[in-house]
């Protein structure tokens, strides 16, 4: 099938590469000429395991190409996928200007029937606005061209996006036309062969499904962090509690790991956008408000533990930071807990020496010229001479460190573990003081 994707960011590139790998002919359109030139050279602007090889293979086979020529893209595809950003506005609402701009572009050039698909995460009612933009632009041209608008939200996890696309849990399609249902079924058939995972619904329900899924996962994270703070104060171990409740199949083990809060490009933005949508509909979403408030507070937990440990004297101290990305297997630092911790430490007069196996370049871009922040080339180089070690991202290489070596290189024998990677009793045998989330020695917030 012939597919055009507007937007060559995370969603657009993963979607395009996976559809091309199934034998489709994909054209990716972007207004960023430099990005398109990089993609033509085989340079991938994001870190996603397996994506570079997938794009290279399909580009060489002629199944995926990149262009700034919107007219060419519109002419090419039966399916016109909108996969551009929807950044939050000042009030938390999703900014739809790029989505609507693409709709205007498609209608400017379309000359035959096509299916316009919103892959971007958008508020309920966006498909109606896209349809309105298409109709208005066609009217300005004096053209009559048939089209359908479909909601087809993505459910990709950063770090595992290719597997998520190739073997999806579900493919949600929101449509008001049975014809488009069958065409979308044919497009996704290579990925749903062992059993049909296509879930068809009305467009507005499809749009809400994406927000509901991310808000539910964010709620589980904030709820577990709330429990961790309670456990710490009553002398319980949240890791044992986690196992105890996760064994209940009604709850399960996914997304009940306590930590330093959620970050990234999706959960914070989508929770805020859903809150804004609720307000616009005349409803006060109490649980969503609490989810966001708990998460904001949780991002400061390690800083408060450090403040308490050092008696409020952080100025002049060096803190080693392991992990900068908001989660492993990505270089994404948007809304990352590491950024909150770094900013608080620098404000308190401390120095931060950080290491991340993938996100160093992104951190260098964000903190270029910021006094007190530096990057190390290895985890142990970051720890060398530091007054404390803070672990913020659960990269695999941090899970089993050489504690004897850590004890030797650290100036201050203390670890603040924001991901509960280690057994407290085991760490203490190496002469290291260990603070985790919701376990061990209770510490009230400073």
Q: Are 291 and 423 in contact (CB under 8 A)?
A: no
Element (H, E) at 321: strand 318-322
CB atoms within 10 A of CB 368: 8
Cα separation, 56 vs 62, whole angstroms: 10
For residue 334, give the DSSP letter: T
Which residues have CB under 8 Å from 246's CB, separation 6+?
252, 253, 256
DSSP state of 310: T
DSSP string, 6-52: E--SHHHHHHHHHHHHTT-EEEEE-S-HHHHHHHHTT--SS--TTHH
Q: Quick one: which of 111, 257, 116, 264 has its CA closest to 183?
A: 116
- 47 to 15, 51, 145, 333: CA distances (angstroms): 15, 8, 39, 12
Taken in order 31, 35, 37, 39, the sign of the CA dihedral is negative
Active-site position among 18, 28, 114, 266:
266
Q: Based on the residue annotation, tell me whether 18 is a catalytic residue of this protein.
A: no
Q: 64 near 102, Cβ under 8 Å? A: no
Distances (CA, A) of 189 to 20, 56, 153, 192: 13, 23, 17, 5
Angle among Cα 106, 109, 110 to the nearest 5 degrees reads 75
Cβ 166 vs Cβ 218: under 8 Å: no
CA distances from 446 to 87, 129, 336, 437 (A): 34, 48, 22, 15
Evaluate whether 440 touches 228 at the Cβ level (below 8 Å): no
What is the SS3 assignment for 319? Answer: strand
Phi, psi dihedrals of residue 167, rounded to the nearest 5°: -130, 70
**Which residues, 6+ apart, have CB-to-CB distance to 241 below 8 Å?**
227, 231, 438
Catalytically active residues, by annotation: 266
């Amino acid at each position: 099938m012939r597919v055009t994707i507007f937007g060559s960011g995370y969603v657009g590139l993963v979607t395009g590469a996976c559809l091309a790998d199934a034998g489709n002919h994909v054209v990716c359109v972007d207004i960023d000429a430099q990005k398109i030139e990089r993609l033509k050279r085989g340079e991938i602007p994001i870190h996603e395991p397996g994506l570079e090889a997938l794009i290279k293979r399909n580009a060489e086979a002629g199944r995926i190409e990149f262009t700034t020529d919107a007219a060419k893209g519109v002419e090419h595809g039966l399916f016109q996928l909108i996969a551009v950003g929807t950044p939050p506005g000042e009030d938390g609402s999703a900014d739809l200007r790029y989505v609507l701009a693409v709709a205007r572009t498609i209608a400017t050039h379309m000359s035959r029937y096509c299916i316009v698909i919103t892959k971007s995460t958008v508020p309920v009612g966006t498909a109606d606005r896209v349809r309105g933009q298409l109709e208005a632009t066609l009217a300005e041209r004096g053209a009559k061209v048939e089209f359908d608008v479909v909601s087809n939200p993505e459910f990709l996890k950063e770090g595992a996006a290719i597997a998520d696309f190739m073997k999806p849990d579900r493919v949600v399609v929101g449509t008001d036309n049975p014809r488009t249902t069958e065409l979308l079924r044919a497009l996704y058939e290579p990925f749903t062969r062992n059993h049909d995972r296509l879930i068809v619904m009305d467009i507005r329900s499809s749009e809400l499904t994406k927000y509901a899924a991310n808000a539910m996962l964010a709620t589980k994270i904030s709820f577990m962090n709330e429990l961790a703070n309670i456990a710490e104060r009553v002398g319980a171990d949240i890791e044992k509690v986690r196992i105890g409740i996760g064994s209940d199949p009604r709850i399960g083990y996914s997304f009940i790991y306590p930590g330093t809060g959620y970050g990234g490009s999706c959960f914070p933005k989508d929770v805020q956008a859903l809150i804004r949508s609720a307000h616009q509909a005349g409803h006060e979403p109490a649980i969503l408000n609490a989810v966001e408030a708990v998460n904001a507070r949780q991002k400061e937990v390690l800083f408060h533990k450090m403040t308490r440990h050092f008696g409020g004297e952080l100025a002049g101290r060096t803190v080693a930071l392991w992990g900068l990305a908001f989660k492993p297997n990505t270089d994404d630092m948007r809304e990352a807990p590491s950024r909150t911790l770094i900013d608080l430490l620098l404000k308190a007069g401390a120095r931060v020496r950080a290491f991340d196996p993938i996100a160093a370049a992104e951190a260098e871009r964000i903190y270029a010229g910021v006094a007190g922040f530096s990057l190390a080339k290895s985890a142990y180089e970051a720890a060398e001479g530091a007054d404390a070690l803070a672990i913020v991202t659960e990269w695999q290489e941090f899970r089993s460190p050489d504690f004897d070596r850590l004890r030797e290189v650290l100036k201050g024998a203390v670890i603040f573990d924001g991901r509960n990677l280690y057994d407290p009793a085991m760490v203490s045998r190496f002469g290291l003081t260990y603070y985790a989330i919701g376990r061990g020695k209770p510490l009230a917030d400073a």
